Chain A
Amino acid sequence: ETGVTQSPTHLIKTRGQQVTLRCSSQSGHNTVSWYQQALGQGPQFIFQYYREEENGRGNFPPRFSGLQFPNYSSELNVNALELDDSALYLCASSWGWGAAMNTEAFFGQGTRLTVV
């Protein structure tokens, strides 16, 4: 079975630009969650997608948006980039949602975004 892959691994953007980050979930997983990890901090939950629908959102502004595709891969889009958006963005995939789920999320290696 393949793991969670994220692309690109690194990128540099200018303040005000838009960026799209991509995540391919592990085979058989239908839930994708995105996290932002600023330098020296723990990851912060951005949002989760389950079967192509947003299934909860953390304390992030609307310029953070996402999509999940029929093959359960996912995109994170950030508009109007700010310097504070510089961080490691992590994608995690898992199977199911709620009390019935097999409770383990597998993380990708992340995308390091630098906003200058």
Chain B
Amino acid sequence: AQSVTQLGSHVSVSEGALVLLRCNYSSSVPPYLFWYVQYPNQGLQLLLKYTTGATLVKGINGFEAEFKKSETSFHLTKPSAHMSDAAEYFCAVSDRHDYKLSFGAGTTVTVRA
């Protein structure tokens, strides 16, 4: 069984500042890891994913995340926040053999002008 913990339900950053969203997971098997973004009244859009290989993963819109097995973490970063980054972000994990996603509770990002 897998579970995901997202530290901080709300994050507020200034435009141009670093965005850092924290995600820790527990999994009994090597996981697949994902970050999704959700804009108001919309579904989920995949930002990036880790399956195998390079542990630093680059995604869309300038986001990247690093898989750290020893820390069971998959934190999401973006060097410079843009107003359009204001949204809800979800970290998710799946057993690489079943692709049934377990999501964290989400982190709401607000961007200050």
Contacts and interface: CB of A to CB of B under 8 A. Distances in A.
Contact of B105 (A35, A41, A99): A41
Contact of B42 (A48, A105, A109): A109
Q: Which of B41, B44, B102 has the most CB of A within 10 A?
A: B44
Interface of A: 4, 31, 33, 35, 40-45, 48, 55-56, 58, 90, 92, 94, 97-99, 101, 103-110
Interface residues of B, number: 24
Contacts of B103: 35, 42-44
Interface stretch (B12-20, B79-87, B91-99): B91-99
Given A41-B106, A43-B90, A107-B43, A94 B101 contact: no
B105 A97 contact: no
A51 to B, nearest CB: 14
Contact of A56 (B4, B45, B100): B100
Given A103-B32, A103-B51, A104-B49, A45 B42 contact: no
